[in-house]
């Protein structure tokens, strides 16, 4: 599977990468978003939602585990599993129905529930660099080739 790396020097650029990706996503795609606190995961998620055509205000579902958005061209299921202590908590909210459903699943802090992730997903890792405000964003295909990633190159 391929890995693509992009650099972002601002919140606006991070959101733009998310938007470009969102425009290309198809139903049934799972995007696993990882990175330390403050790296821009939620900004990326907002851009991705915009690319899907979501009209609602995107917020990180830290206390509810998942927010559903149905105003885009396909539903967006936005997970934030930062506060999850056991992957079973995520399974109890219907995780598999979301992952294998008719929408796009976006999972922030996906590395915390690695044991229950599907066999195929797009991993997006956001990291700070030594340059102020710069981010290294790594896109890695797991179990499947995602030809739409070429729009980001």
pLDDT, averaged across the chain = 92
Q: What percent of the chain has pLDDT over 70?
A: 96
Q: What percent of the chain has pLDDT over 90?
A: 78
For every residue of the chain, DSSP letters joined together read: --EEEEEESSHHHHHHHHHHHHHH--TT-EEEEE--TTSSHHHHHHHHHHHHT--SPP---TTTSEEEE-SSSS-EEEEE-TT-SSHHHHHTTTHHHHHTSSSEEEEETGGGGGGG--SSEEEEEEEE-SSTT-EEEEEEEESS--GGGGGG-
Q: Could you report the per-residue pLDDT of 31-45, keeping only the tens digit for each?
A: 999 999 989 999 999
Q: Which has more confidence, 58 or 29?
A: 29
Is 129:8 a contact under the CB 8 Å cutoff?
Answer: no
Q: Could you report the per-residue pLDDT of 111-136, keeping only the tens digit for each?
A: 999 999 999 999 999 999 999 999 99
User: For the residues 98-105, what does the mean pLDDT come to?
Assistant: 94
The structural domains of the chain, ordered by start, are 3-134 (3.40.50.300)
Q: How confident is the model at residue 149 (pLDDT cuts 50, 70, 90)?
A: confident
């Amino acid at each position: 599977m391929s890995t693509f790396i992009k650099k972002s020097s601002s919140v606006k650029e991070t959101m733009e990468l998310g938007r470009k990706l969102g425009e290309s996503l198809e139903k049934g795609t799972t995007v696993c978003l990882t990175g330390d606190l403050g790296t821009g995961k939620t900004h990326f998620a907002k851009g991705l939602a915009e690319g899907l055509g979501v009209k609602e205000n995107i917020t990180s579902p830290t206390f509810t585990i998942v927010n559903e958005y149905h105003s885009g061209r396909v539903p967006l299921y936005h997970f934030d599993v930062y506060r999850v202590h056991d992957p079973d908590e995520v399974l109890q909210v219907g995780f598999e129905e979301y992952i294998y459903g008719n929408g796009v699943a976006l999972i922030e802090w996906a590395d915390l529930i690695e044991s229950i992730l599907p066999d195929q997903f797009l991993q997006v890792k956001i990291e700070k660099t030594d340059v102020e405000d710069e981010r290294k964003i790594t896109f890695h295909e797991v179990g499947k080739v995602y030809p739409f990633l070429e729009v980001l190159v």
